[in-house]
Structure 1
Amino acid sequence: MIRYTICFLKQGSRFLMLNRFHPPTMGLWNGVGGKIEPGESPLMSVLREVWEETGIRLETATYKGVISWKLDGSLTGGMHAFLAELPDDLIYATPSLVEEGVLAWKEEDWLLHPDNSGVPENLPLFLPVMLSTTDCFAYHFDYSKGRVVAHEKRPLPELIK
């Protein structure tokens, strides 16, 4: 069961990213999201989480697939991934301190730079695909001692979307 959501908020060539105060991605810049509450669909959850973490009310977000991971041989979880394009005229001042961490705009080139250690290690392995296609995929990552040791991308069956 996938119990979490994540959303990447894009405006032109930049993304509104959260540097989280808490594990598992403490100190890293990532999308916003959280736990799916009882009775919520993944879309309902991500819209609520974006509102709670940023104050931005989205009408919708585009489903981009599932990201799952296994840590040191134990399956530990996953999240439904979404992308939302913010209007060009939306003004969102950053840095902004919120309960979950610090929000700031980050340029796409910076986020995806191969030497960037300020984002989760798997982000450059899935985000470029999400940005370049309308297709949805299941992305799976195997970690050993905190590092990605293997990853795969499979087309997501139509029934899951």
Structure 2
Amino acid sequence: MYRYTICFLKHRNGILMLNRNKSPLMGLWNGVGGKLEHGETPLDSVLREVREETGILLETACYKGIVSWLVDGMETGGMYAFLAHLPEDYERNQTPQAVEEGILDWKELAWILDPDNAGVPENLPMFLPYMLEEVDPCQHFFTYENNQVVKYETAPLQKPVTT
């Protein structure tokens, strides 16, 4: 079982992103999420993290798979990935907005996925399009050497995890 969750909240052509003010990924824009607490399912964790970090009360989120990584030959972790589509009539809060974890802001997909964007984690533009386009959950596995992605593999998940 992995220790982390991440959720991408989509509204129209934007994603609510968090610029973290501490490690890991300090200073980069990413989805919202965090550590699973004792006894939580990944879904319970991501719903709690979204509420704590954004104030948005989700009833559910769509499980999109697992993102995991190998760093310099050592497996160092992974996270359960979720996507939540906010209703068309959802009224966005004024952003950017400072929160305890960093800064929240709505970012357009084109900005997030731009190949020249150094403001997001290097692997995000690789797995996020799949999460947005595909229905079935997938395993996204990244191999890093010297802080750079050197290999990216995907595989369909045979059995869904307990969410």
TM-score bracket for the superposition, by shorter chain length: over 0.9
- The superposition leaves residues 74-95 of structure 1 with CA deviations (integer Å, 9 ceiling, x where unpaired) of 1000000000011222221100
Residue 72 of structure 2 corresponds to: 72
Question: How far apart, CA to CA, are the structure 2 residues paired with 1:62 and 1:35?
Answer: 18
Q: Do residues 84 (structure 1) and 84 (structure 2) align?
A: yes
- The superposition leaves residues 116-135 of structure 1 with CA deviations (integer Å, 9 ceiling, x where unpaired) of 11100000110001111101
- The superposition leaves residues 104-160 of structure 1 with CA deviations (integer Å, 9 ceiling, x where unpaired) of 010001101111111000001100011111011000111111111111001111243
Task: Tell me which amino acid in the other structure corresponds to 1:10.
Answer: K
- Aligned-residue Cα RMSD (Å) equals 1.0
Q: Do residues 37 (structure 1) and 24 (structure 2) align?
A: no
The TM-score, its normalising length taken from structure 2, stands at 0.96
The TM-score, its normalising length taken from structure 1, stands at 0.97
Structure 1, unaligned runs of 5 or more: none
Residue 98 of structure 2 corresponds to: 97
Kindly report which structure 2 residues correspond to 1:11-160, keeping only aligned pairs within 5 A, or say none. 11-91=11-91, 92-160=93-161
Secondary structure of the corresponding residue to residue 130 of structure 2: helix
Secondary structure of the corresponding residue to residue 22 of structure 2: coil
Question: How far apart, CA to CA, are the structure 2 residues paired with 1:160 and 1:5?
Answer: 13
Question: How far apart, CA to CA, are the structure 2 residues paired with 1:106 and 1:32?
Answer: 13
Question: How far apart, CA to CA, are the structure 2 residues paired with 1:159 and 1:124?
Answer: 24
Secondary structure of the corresponding residue to residue 50 of structure 1: helix
Question: How far apart, CA to CA, are the structure 1 residues paired with 2:160 and 2:115?
Answer: 34
Identity %: 61
Question: How far apart, CA to CA, are the structure 1 residues paired with 2:53 and 2:89?
Answer: 20
Tell me how far 1:59 sits from its aligned partner. 0.4
Question: How far apart, CA to CA, are the structure 2 residues paired with 1:159 and 1:153?
Answer: 15
Secondary structure of the corresponding residue to residue 76 of structure 2: strand
Question: How far apart, CA to CA, are the structure 2 residues paired with 1:85 and 1:131?
Answer: 10
Structure 2, unaligned runs of 5 or more: none
